[in-house]
Amino acid sequence: MMKKILYNTMSLFMILGILSGCTKMDNTYKEFVVPGGLTYAGKATSPKVYPGLARVKVAWLRGSDPSVVNAKIFWNNFADSVIVPIPPTGDTVSVIIDDLLEKSYSFVIRTYDPKGNSSVPVEVIGGSYGANYQAQLLTRPVNSSLIDAKGKVTIQWGSADISNGAFASEVKYTDVNGNIKNKSFPTDLMTSEINDLKPNTSYQFRTMFKPDSLSIDNFYTSYSESGFFNFDKKDWKVIDYSDQYSDGDNAAKNVIDGTDGTRWHTANGASYPHYVTIDMGAVRIISQFGVWRTLFDSPGGDDRAPSRIQFMMSTDNQNWTNLGEFNFNNLINGEQIFPISGSPKGRYLKLIGLAGNNQFMTLGEISAYGF
């Protein structure tokens, strides 16, 4: 019985000691305890970072807490920050942060109510782009620019730098009324058309990029010049020629049908010079000619093409200007280019074969370039 009383007495003292310790602990941490518990502002919901050129946009859903009046965004390990007022209405909150280096950032967002209570921090990762990204961008090339007699330009595009975010090509030109125009064409189009280019002028082009689908800025390559136009031969007509072996496979008109797989074969009994006269359908400024020997009936190439040729040009098919005489290599296939100086203007052109391996000659194709 005595042991039981002693045990109960010891238990009572232990309980009193614990209660006394708790009272002292409460007094120690009393200043850190908020009556009724801590109060947090509603946090930023579903934040996103939208990259740009030396800047980003940070945005998030406004949330359902009506007491939130502003937010603070920290980055660079809290060394930099910006205060963002929260509008009383609207679904989203956003801010542009400028003057950023080209790198990835960790942005920490805290929201606040009028009493200064903050939300739990929310982190979102994103970055900006700059000179390093810009330096690796490649202009989508133009494979050819074809212009017809009515002035319609058809641009044949090469491959676009899709992996780096190329999404469109922009073309800058002067229209028929003298206005500067800019048109953009998606990179999934292989051909594009311009129908109002000012006659005898060229255009410039560049490629547009987005490094990210969320990017707030477009990036551009430098402008490139279009260079010469290839004149559309669907407008051309052979209006005169010196001679031909026969119509059909040997006709003079075959030199403007768009392929060196056909031929013009002059008459066997005829001798140099041989000529063909072409109406281009519109007045052109000539910068260069292209000539091919034929592959017809001779896949390796026909060396009976002329070795010496001459070009002439006229505005009326009566008065002719000599554009020069040139050596033509009748031993090689493919287009041979002959630059023309002085930017001569005319509608009619004449190619003359002056000399070759035989008295007759064969020829595959003729093209002209300019404005």
Class of domain 45-129 (CATH, top level)? mainly beta
The β-bridge relationship of strands 142-147 and 229-231 is parallel
Domains of the chain, by residue range, sit at 45-129, 136-227, 233-370
Burial class (CB in 10 A: 0-12, 13-18, 19+), 158: exposed
Measured CA to CA, the distance from residue 146 to residue 150 in angstroms comes to 12
Q: How far is CA 246 from the centre of its chain?
A: 49
CATH 1.20.1530.20 given to domain 136-227: no
- Which residues have C-beta within 8 Å of that of residue 36, sequence separation ≥ 6? none
Question: What confidence score (pLDDT) does residue 63 get?
Answer: 84
With a cut of 70, which residues of the chain have pLDDT below it?
Answer: 1-38
Measured CA to CA, the distance from residue 294 to residue 301 in angstroms comes to 6
Measured CA to CA, the distance from residue 121 to residue 152 in angstroms comes to 59
Amino acid (one-letter) located at 186: P
Q: What DSSP letter does each residue of 150-180 carry, written as one string?
A: T--EEEEE----GGGTEEEEEEEEEBTTS-E
Token readout for 370 is 């300019």
Length of the chain: 371
Q: From the DSSP assignment, how many helices (H) and strands (E) are in the chain?
A: 2, 25
Q: 106: part of which helix (H) or strand (E)?
A: strand 104-112
Does residue 106 contact residue 75 with C-beta atoms inside 8 Å? Answer: yes
Token readout for 263 is 């031929």
CATH topology for 233-370 is: Jelly Rolls (2.60.120)
Domains 45-129 and 136-227 share a fold: yes
Model pTM score: 0.80
Token readout for 354 is 């002056």
Question: What confidence score (pLDDT) does residue 38 get?
Answer: 64
Question: What confidence score (pLDDT) does residue 64 get?
Answer: 85
- Residue 31 has φ and ψ, to the nearest 5°, of -70, -15
